[in-house]
Chains A and B, each alone.
Chain A
Amino acid sequence: MVVFEKPKALADVSMHYCPGCTHGIVHRLVAEVLDELGIEGKTVGVAPVGCSVMAYNYFNCDMVEAAHGRAPAVATGLKRAMPDRVIFTYQGDGDLASIGTAETVHAAARNENITIIFINNAIYGMTGGQMAPTSLPGQVTQTSPYGRDTSHCGFPVKVCEMLSQLDGPEYLERVAVNNVKNVKNAKKAIKKAFENQLAGKGFSLVEVVSSCPTNWGMTPKKALEWIDEKMIPYYPLGVYKDRTAAKEQGGE
Chain B
Amino acid sequence: MAKLTFRTDLCKGCGLCVDFCPKGVLVLAKDKINKKGHHPVEAAYPEKCIACAFCATMCPDCIITVEK
A148 CB within 8 Å of chain B: no
Instruction: Kindly supply a per-residue 1/0 record for chain A positions 1-12, scoring 1 wherever the CB is within 8 Å of any chain B CB and 0 otherwise.
Output: 111111100100
Q: Which listed residue (A1, A25, A184) contacts B60, Cβ 8 A? A: A25
Supposing A19-B38, A24-B62 touch, asked if A3 and B67 sit within 8 A by C-beta, the answer is yes
Chain B, range 45-68, C-beta contacts under 8 Å to A: 51, 53-54, 56-62, 64-68
Q: Which listed residue (A2, A5, A19, A179) contacts B14, Cβ 8 A? A: A19
Whether A4 and B58, one on each chain, are in contact in the complex, defined by CB atoms closer than 8 angstroms, is no
A224 CB within 8 Å of chain B: yes
Whether A28 and B62, one on each chain, are in contact in the complex, defined by CB atoms closer than 8 angstroms, is yes
Cα–Cα, bound, A15→B51 (Å): 25
Which of A4, A7, A183, A219 is most buried by chain B, counting CB atoms within 10 A of its CB? A4
Q: Which listed residue (A17, A18, A184, A213) contacts B57, Cβ 8 A? A: A184
Q: Which listed residue (A6, A20, A180) contacts B54, Cβ 8 A? A: A180
Supposing A10-B62, A224-B16 touch, asked if A3 and B57 sit within 8 A by C-beta, the answer is no
Cβ distance B59 to chain A, nearest Cβ, rounded Å: 8
Chain A, range 14-43, C-beta contacts under 8 Å to B: 14-15, 17-25, 28
Cα–Cα, bound, A220→B60 (Å): 11
Task: Count contacts on B: residues with CB < 8 A to the other chain.
Answer: 27
Q: In the complex, what residues of A have CB within 8 A of residue B23's CB?
A: none
Instruction: Kindly supply a per-residue 1/0 record for chain A positions 109-136, scoring 1 wherever the CB is within 8 Å of any chain B CB and 0 otherwise.
Output: 0000000000000000000000000000
Whether A21 and B60, one on each chain, are in contact in the complex, defined by CB atoms closer than 8 angstroms, is yes
Cα–Cα, bound, A58→B50 (Å): 30
Supposing A3-B53, A180-B57, A183-B57 touch, asked if A20 and B16 sit within 8 A by C-beta, the answer is yes
Chain A, range 153-204, C-beta contacts under 8 Å to B: 179-180, 183-184
Whether B66 and A4, one on each chain, are in contact in the complex, defined by CB atoms closer than 8 angstroms, is yes
Q: In the complex, what residues of A have CB within 8 A of residue B15's CB?
A: 20, 219-221
Please give the residue numbers on chain A whose beta carbons come within 8 Å of chain B beta carbons, in ascending order: 1-7, 10, 14-15, 17-25, 28, 179-180, 183-184, 213, 219-221, 224
Please give the residue numbers on chain B whose beta carbons come within 8 Å of chain A beta carbons, in ascending order: 2, 9-10, 12-16, 19-20, 36, 38, 51, 53-54, 56-62, 64-68
A-B contact pairs, 8 of them (CB 8 A): A1-B67, A2-B67, A3-B2, A17-B61, A183-B57, A183-B58, A221-B16, A224-B16
